[in-house]
Every structure is written in structure tokens, then in C-alpha cells.
Amino acid sequence: MAQTNIQSGTSTDASLRRQLAEFWYYFSENRGAVIGLAVFVLLVIIAVFAPWIAPHSPADQYRDATLLPPFFQEGGRADYLLGTDAVGRDILSRLIYGARYSLFIGIVVTFIALVGGIFLGVIAGYFRGWVDTVIMRLMDVILAFPSLLLALVLVAIIGPGLTGAMISIALVYQPHFVRLTRAAVMAEKTRDYVVAAKVAGASPLRLMFKTILPNCMAPLIVQATLSFSNAILDAAALGFLGYGAQPPASEWGTMLADAREFIASGQWWVVTLPGLAILITVLAINLVGDGLRDALDPKLKRS
């Protein structure tokens, strides 16, 4: 018996290694996805080790060094590599700490939207009938509004701030996960392995969340990746409008809001650098999402 268990465990490990090797093969075929993954890993490292990487505290104000340009421009100083803002805060340090806000926002928003969307989508797809109708009509109402406008309305109800912004964005993104999960569950619930588990006496909860759901995760993973990047964008937009993270937070959208008076002036670095940080981060995550789609979609594998 012990030998049988050892052989079973070895077979499972070998199967897992083959699956991981196959996943990486298809993922690495997309060079953009590999580059995006490298940038994202670098962003995670920067966020985790921000206190040791940043040359200054993001909130410290150096009154003798206001609106200094980057070090490579005339008038710049090596102490402030990317210059300073209107109150003398080091922009490089604020960008580094801003990575923490972006990752935190993306993780929280995606987690809330994913968990809630999966729960509602599985129930709607499995039970159908009036339960499905009520859930999907509610999702249709949410989708009828422009996402940023609806987020603004929800933030106005919940209250401005980072917490309210994250909850609002998560509620706006939830219908996408509900519809994806519902469609996948409807396709899987009639398959032989589900029918066999049902005949064997499996309860509805076991059928929904242990039998069917694991086979529906591929499109949800891709959608979660894209929602991660969109959450960063929408949080930055809310921060720019004054409804997201509040000053003196170093969130990138808030940094853009503080710098809006310099858009038409010569202090280009105050506005451009936070915008570039948002652009690079969102682009990297979207590229990773494309790679995940290539690696997880069986149709693309066969092509």
C-alpha cells in the first residue's frame, strides 16, 4: 500500500511538472509577455523593498530644492535623480512608494471582484431559472453605466479615499467575472464527469465549487490579469479627480493631480514621470495577460 501511494505521488508530481513546462513553453513563445513579466517582477521587487531603495522619504519636503529638474538637465542635482515637486518632495522616492499603492490597489480590487463574481456566476450558471435572471439583470444594469462614471457615483456614496475607490472599482468590474463564470459553468455542467459526480451523490455545493469551478479558471485568470491593470488605471483616474487616495499619499494618480498646474509650464518632469509609471505598469500587466491567454487557451495551443 505504501509503495502504491509513493508511486501515485511521484506520478502526480511528474504530471504537474509536465503541465508547468507546457504552460511556460506557450507563455514564453510570446516575447512581449516575457518582457511584461520581467517588468512586473521588477515592479514587485521595487514595491517590497521601497524603504531600502528610495533615497528619501516620500513625504519629506526640502524647501531649498523645490521644482528641481532631473539630474541630467541643467539645474538638476544628484541628490534628486528625477527632480522634485512644488513642495520639494523627491519624485523618484514618491514613484517608488507609489508602486506599493498600485500593487495593493490591483490585488484588492481583483480579489474582491473575482471572489464575488465567481460566487454569483457559479450560482447563476448552475441553478439557472429565476436565480439566473435576477443576477444577470442586475449585472446588466451595472454594465449599462460607463465604468468610471459608476465608480465616481459609488465613491460619492461610500466616501472619497483609497478604501472607497477600491470597493467602487471592484463592484464595477464584478459583472465581467460573473458573465465569464456563468458561461463556463453552463458549458461544463452537462459534461460526463459532472453527471457522474451527480449520480454518485455529490451535493450541489460540491458540484459547483469543487467539481465544476476548477475547470472554469483559465478564462477567469486572464480576466483577472486585465482587471488588475484596469484597476490601476481607474484608481489613478479617481486619484486625479480627487476621489481616490488623498494627499500626501504618493499614489501616481494623486501625484498627477498635484501636478496639474504644471501641465502647460516648463516643469515637464512633475507631470510626465507619474504618467510614464502608470503607462509602463499597465502595459506590462496587459502583456502578461496576453501571454496567459496564449498559454491557457486550448484553441490557441492547437493553432
pLDDT confidence of residue 303: 47
Q: Which residue has the higher pLDDT, 242 or 302?
A: 242
Indicate the burial class of 59 (C-beta count within 10 angstroms; 0-12, 13-18, 19 or more).
middle
Give the number of C-alpha atoms closer than 13 A to the C-alpha of residue 104, restricted to the C-beta side. 15
Average pLDDT over residues 245-250: 83
Average pLDDT over residues 107-112: 93
User: What pLDDT, in 10s, does the model give residues 30-40?
Assistant: 889 999 999 99
pLDDT confidence of residue 180: 92
Average pLDDT over residues 174-193: 90
For residue 191, what is the DSSP state? S
In percent, the amount of the chain with pLDDT more than 70 equals 93
291/221 Cα distance (integer angstroms) = 11
Indicate the burial class of 240 (C-beta count within 10 angstroms; 0-12, 13-18, 19 or more).
buried
pLDDT confidence of residue 298: 55
The answer to whether 96 and 50 are in contact (CB under 8 A) is: yes
The answer to whether 58 and 89 are in contact (CB under 8 A) is: yes
pTM for the whole thing? 0.86
pLDDT confidence of residue 135: 93
Residues 6+ apart with CB under 8 A from 234: 147, 148, 151, 169, 172
**Is the confidence at residue 79, as pLDDT, over 80?**
yes
**Is the confidence at residue 219, as pLDDT, over 90?**
no
The answer to whether 259 and 149 are in contact (CB under 8 A) is: no
pLDDT band of residue 2 (cuts 50, 70, 90) is very low
Residues 6+ apart with CB under 8 A from 258: 85, 86, 247
3-state helix, strand, coil in the chain (%, to 5): 75, 0, 20
